Amino acid sequence: MVRTSNAGKRGKDSSECWVIGDAAFQKSVFEKDINNRLTLARYRREGISLKDVLKATARKTDVEEKLILHKSKRTPHAEARMVFCFRARELGFPTRETGNFLGIQQAAVSNAARKGAVLAQKRKISWE
C-alpha cells in the first residue's frame, strides 16, 4: 500500500513510502505517523528544534555542542551524541531528520538512541 500522502510524489515507488502488513498494522502505523506530525507541528509553532535538543544535551552532558556534532567513536562526545539521539527520538523527531542533522544514517540514529537511553538512565539525566 502506498500512503495517500505519498501518491504523486517523486520516488513513491521507494520502499520508504510503503506500509506492508495487515489492516490493523497499517492503521497503527498511520495513527502513529499522524501523532508524530502533530507533535512536530506543535514543536515548530513553539519554536523547538533539533538545535534546542542539541543545546540541552550539551548542558546535561557537559560536552560542547560542536563536539556532539563531530563524528567520533568511544569518546564522551560519542556518548553525548547517543543521548542526543535518544532525546530526539523521545521527543518524536524522525530518525531521518535527526540523521540529516548529525550527518549519519537512520540506522545509526536508531542504534545511538537505543544506547543513549541506557546512558541517560545510567547517568540519571533528567530533562525536566
Q: What would the pLDDT profile of 18-62 be if each residue is shown by its tens digit?
A: 667 777 888 888 888 888 788 778 887 888 899 999 999 999 999
Cα of first residue to Cα of last residue in the chain, in angstroms, is 40
Q: Where are the domains of the chain?
A: 50-122
Residue in the structure block whose three cell numbers are 556518548: 79
Q: What would the pLDDT profile of 4-25 be if each residue is shown by its tens digit?
A: 555 555 555 665 666 677 778 8
How would you class 88 by CB atoms within 10 Å of its CB: exposed for 0-12, middle for 13-18, buried for 19 or more? Answer: buried
Q: What is the CATH number of domain 50-122?
A: 1.10.1750.10
Task: State the average pLDDT for the chain.
Answer: 84
Residues 20 and 127: their CA atoms lie apart, in Å, by 35
Q: What percent of the chain has pLDDT over 90?
A: 47
Q: What would the pLDDT profile of 59-91 be if each residue is shown by its tens digit?
A: 999 999 999 999 888 788 999 999 999 999 998
How would you class 98 by CB atoms within 10 Å of its CB: exposed for 0-12, middle for 13-18, buried for 19 or more? Answer: buried
Which residues face 18 on adjacent strands? 2
pTM over 0.75? The answer is: no
In angstroms, the Cα distances linking 38 to 14, 63, 76, 105, 122 are 24, 31, 34, 24, 31
pLDDT, residue 87, reads 95
pLDDT, residue 2, reads 46
Does residue 82 contact residue 115 with C-beta atoms inside 8 Å?
A: yes
pLDDT, residue 63, reads 94
State the cell numbers at 125.
539525566
